[in-house]
């Protein structure tokens, strides 16, 4: 403790915490406000993001620092309120309509970025000798990058207008959605306890379904009702209406045993669909800044200074692994799926280094769920150092790119594969009859897959509910038939999606090339899906509580998936090295018509 160090070196008697502790909530809030201002001034002085200053100041005034703030109840309240308002504001910048416009490119990069980071950190944590529970939390925590820190440093470095940034922002937006789900999952688990994991997952699926149904219904009528209220009551009530909607959904999530923050996020996304959503943003943001500042300071008070020295080796190892993992997760994936140059891929990897607010929230949830290490302290230290590394790295990304870029076989393979995938994404994003049909099929496939999951997971819950009224074998029979029906339907829709992709790429109803294109697409899609399942499969190891040796199965799936992608690539280069056969006929026709 800092008090103890002062006692030793300056011969000042160390007072017990009960003499130092301030228990008046108003004085504590005043202290938080004062130090929030100090954090802002220091961050501006050293040209660092405000989040870093708030975390450091929170650590200094917290129980392991000078002990100015030690009221655990008030700290938890500040974190909960701050998280609710913080995610409400994020939700206001996130609409489902915007998500549908992000495109397959950003979705694919996000899936692989989160998957690769989760898998590499999970494996590293297990190799450090920690349990699969700790590894699962660490993997999720390191999977998310910080929207606030990334955009703040890019603006400071005047790099916000680079061509790679729109895709990176889209990835950050999608990560927020993943973060809400992860937070909801772990929050539900903390209420059920590790012993009731299967029950927690079943309840999570059912309660999330209820929440989503209510969300869809409210989003259809909310704008008309709120517009009518503001027209009659005046625009000065916008802030109260916003907070009322936020509170309602937060409370609904609480009643459904979900994270209140997830409900607040959905409430914000409803407002994001309004025609005048900017008015709501302007009314709530000044207040959210205050409470989100309290949130980061309150999180900072949870940092244990002695834990930094106790876990110095895990901190260094996990930070190095996360940096290397990000260069693969962002650098390689943006090069393959987004056709970035070597320089652009290196820039993107450096820009996405710092973990974010969702990492801190999940770390806090881990405190009561059997984590063997202080993940709040570890991730806070990693945020601090990766932000500094990012700031320095962005000033030298061209030199770093020149240092690590080589014209070898791997570069040639990624460039060729990138060109093919770029063509595929370009064709999908063009608005025509084929792409509209593809989106319809994909929507139907997703809907049927979710229904299958709901029946499969929720069948036993429904069975226990209707057990007294309906014989159990009838419920099980209905559940089995329903699951098989929607599973077969989803499987057939998946086949139709692949066939539609083939039509888009060849723009033909038949011919010699369509068979080769179908073969390439099947192997590539199956390879990518199998690789993703392998990357996320450690979650099952954690959920089932089996030995970490089952990671070998995960590795086997990833290797098999990569081999399938490699086979697709070999077929591709034997068909046509420049891959121009995949450019649809209608493009050539349009070009010839322009010439005439």
For the chain, percent of residues with pLDDT exceeding 70: 77
pLDDT band of residue 513 (cuts 50, 70, 90) is low
Give me the mean pLDDT over the 177-185 stretch: 77
Question: Of 97-106, 245-254, 360-369, which range is least confident?
Answer: 97-106
Q: Taking 60 as the threshold, does the pLDDT of residue 409 lie above it? A: no
Comparison of pLDDT for 545 and 137, the residue scoring more:
137
- Examine the pLDDT at 316 and tell me if it is beyond 90: yes
d(CA 253, CA 242) in angstroms, rounded, equals 17
pLDDT at 453 over 90: no
Cα-based torsion angle of the residue sequence 436, 441, 442, 447 in order, rounded to the nearest 10 degrees? 130
For range 201-225, the mean pLDDT = 80
Mean pLDDT of 226-253: 80
Q: Residue 291's pLDDT band (boundaries 50, 70, 90)?
A: low
What pLDDT was estimated at residue 320?
A: 94
User: What is the rounded average pLDDT of the residues 518-544?
Assistant: 86
Alpha helices in 128-255 (DSSP H): 132-141, 147-156, 165-192, 197-233, 238-255
| Cα 16 to Cα 364: distance, rounded to the nearest angstrom | 27
pLDDT of residue 73: 78
User: What pLDDT band is residue 117 in, cutting at 50, 70 and 90?
Assistant: very high
- Ranked by mean pLDDT, which of 68-82, 244-258, 570-584 comes out on top? 244-258
Q: Distance between CA atoms of 381 and 564, rounded to whole angstroms?
A: 40
Whole-number Cα distances in Å, 380 to 315, 376, 507, 573: 10, 6, 51, 47
Mean pLDDT score across all residues of the chain: 76
Q: Is the pLDDT of residue 234 over 80?
A: no
* 286 class by beta-carbon count within 10 Å (0-12 exposed, 13-18 middle, 19+ buried): exposed
**Domain ranges in the chain?**
78-275+308-405, 413-595
Is the model's pLDDT at 591 over the cut of 50?
A: no
* 576 vs 244, residue with greater confidence: 244
DSSP string for residues in 366-428: HTTTT-SS-HHHHHHHHHHHHHHHHHHHHTSHHHHHHHH---SHHHHHHHHHHHHHHHHHHHH
Residue-by-residue DSSP string for 430-491: S-SHHHHHHHHHHHHHHHHHHHHHHHHHHHHHHHHHHTTTS-HHHHHHHHHHHHHHHHHHHH
Which has more confidence, 244 or 372?
244
Which pLDDT band, with edges at 50, 70 and 90, does 593 fall under?
very low
Residue 251 has pLDDT above 50, yes or no: yes
The whole-number pLDDT of residue 127 equals 93
> Which has the minimum average pLDDT: 208-217, 223-232, 329-338, 581-590?
581-590
CATH architecture of 78-275+308-405: Up-down Bundle (1.20)
The pLDDT of residue 589 is 35
Residue 1: pLDDT band with limits 50, 70, 90: very low
pLDDT higher than 70, residue 91: yes
Q: Which pLDDT band holds residue 473 (cuts at 50, 70, 90)?
A: low
- The answer, yes or no, to whether residue 520 has pLDDT greater than 50, is yes
Q: Out of 239-248, 262-271, 513-522, which region has the weakest mean confidence (pLDDT)?
A: 513-522
What pLDDT does 555 receive? 93
Q: Give the pLDDT of residue 5.
A: 42
Please enumerate in sequence order all residues whose Cβ is within 8 A of that of 476, keeping only pairs 6 or more positions apart, or say none.
459, 463
CA atoms within 13 A on the CB side of 138: 32
**Cα dihedral value 393, 394, 399, 402, nearest 10:** 100
Average of pLDDT values for 168-184? 80
**How far apart (Å, rounded) are the C-alpha atoms in residues 594 and 596?**
5
Distance, CA of 465 to CA of 203 (rounded, Å): 13
> What is residue 478's predicted lDDT score, i.e. its pLDDT?
72
Report which of residues 148 and 268 the model is more confident about. 268
Top-ranked range on mean pLDDT: pick from 76-80, 137-141, 520-524 = 137-141
- pLDDT band (50, 70, 90) for residue 511: very low
C-alpha to C-alpha distance for 67 and 374, rounded to whole angstroms: 19
């Amino acid at each position: 403790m800092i008090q103890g160090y002062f006692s030793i070196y300056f011969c000042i008697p160390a007072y017990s915490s009960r003499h130092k502790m301030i228990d008046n909530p108003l004085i504590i809030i005043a202290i938080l406000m004062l130090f929030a201002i100090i954090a802002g001034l220091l961050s501006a002085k050293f040209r660092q993001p405000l989040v870093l200053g708030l975390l450091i100041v929170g650590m200094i005034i917290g129980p392991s620092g000078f002990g100015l703030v030690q009221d655990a109840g008030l700290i938890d309240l500040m974190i909960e309120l701050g998280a609710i308002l913080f995610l409400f504001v994020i939700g206001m910048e996130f609409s489902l309509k915007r998500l549908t416009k992000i495109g397959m490119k950003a979705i694919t990069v996000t899936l692989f970025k989160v998957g690769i980071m989760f898998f590499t950190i999970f494996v590293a944590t297990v190799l450090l000798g920690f349990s699969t529970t700790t590894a699962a939390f660490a993997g999720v925590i390191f999977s998310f990058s910080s929207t606030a820190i990334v955009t703040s440093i890019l603006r400071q470095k005047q790099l916000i207008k680079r061509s790679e940034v729109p895709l990176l922002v889209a990835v950050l937006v999608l990560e927020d959605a993943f973060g809400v789900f992860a937070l909801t999952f772990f929050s539900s688990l903390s209420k059920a306890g590790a012993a009731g994991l299967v029950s927690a997952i079943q309840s999570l699926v059912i309660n999330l379904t209820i929440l989503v149904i209510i969300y869809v219904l409210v989003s259809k009528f909310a704008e008309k009702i709120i517009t009518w209220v503001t027209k009659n009551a005046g625009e000065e009530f916008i802030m109260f209406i916003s907070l009322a909607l936020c509170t309602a959904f937060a409370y609904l999530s609480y009643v459904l045993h979900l994270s209140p923050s997830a409900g607040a996020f959905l409430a914000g996304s409803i407002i994001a669909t309004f025609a005048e959503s900017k008015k709501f943003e302007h009314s709530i943001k000044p207040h959210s800044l205050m409470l989100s500042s309290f949130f980061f300071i309150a999180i900072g008070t949870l940092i244990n200074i002695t834990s930094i020295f106790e876990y110095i080796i895990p901190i260094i190892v996990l930070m190095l692994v996360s940096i290397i993992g990000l260069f693969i997760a962002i650098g390689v994936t943006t090069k393959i799926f987004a056709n970035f140059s070597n320089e652009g891929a290196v820039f993107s990897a450096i820009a996405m280094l710092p973990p974010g607010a969702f990492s801190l929230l999940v770390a806090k949830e881990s405190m009561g769920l059997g984590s063997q290490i202080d993940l709040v302290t570890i991730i806070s230290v990693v945020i601090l150092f990766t932000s500094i590394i990012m700031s320095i790295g962005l000033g030298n990304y061209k030199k770093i790119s020149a240092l690590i870029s080589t014209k070898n076989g791997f570069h040639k393979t990624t460039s060729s594969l990138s060109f093919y995938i770029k063509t595929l994404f370009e064709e999908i994003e063009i608005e025509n009859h084929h792409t509209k049909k593809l989106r319809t099929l994909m929507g139907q496939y997703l809907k049927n897959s979710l229904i299958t999951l709901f029946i499969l997971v929720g069948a036993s819950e429904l069975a226990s509910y209707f057990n007294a009224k309906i014989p159990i074998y009838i419920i099980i029979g209905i559940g089995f038939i329903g699951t098989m029906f929607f599973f077969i339907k989803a499987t057939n829709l998946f086949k139709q999606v692949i066939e539609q992709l083939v039509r888009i790429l060849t723009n033909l109803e038949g011919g010699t090339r369509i068979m080769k294109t179908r073969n390439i697409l099947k192997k590539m899609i199956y390879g990518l899906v199998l690789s993703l399942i392998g990357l996320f499969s450690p979650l099952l190891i954690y959920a089932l509580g089996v030995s970490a040796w089952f990671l070998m199965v995960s590795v086997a799936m990833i290797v098999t998936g990569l081999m399938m992608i490699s086979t697709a690539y070999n077929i591709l280069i034997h068909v046509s090295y420049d891959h121009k056969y995949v450019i649809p006929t209608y493009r050539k026709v349009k070009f010839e018509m322009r010439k005439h």
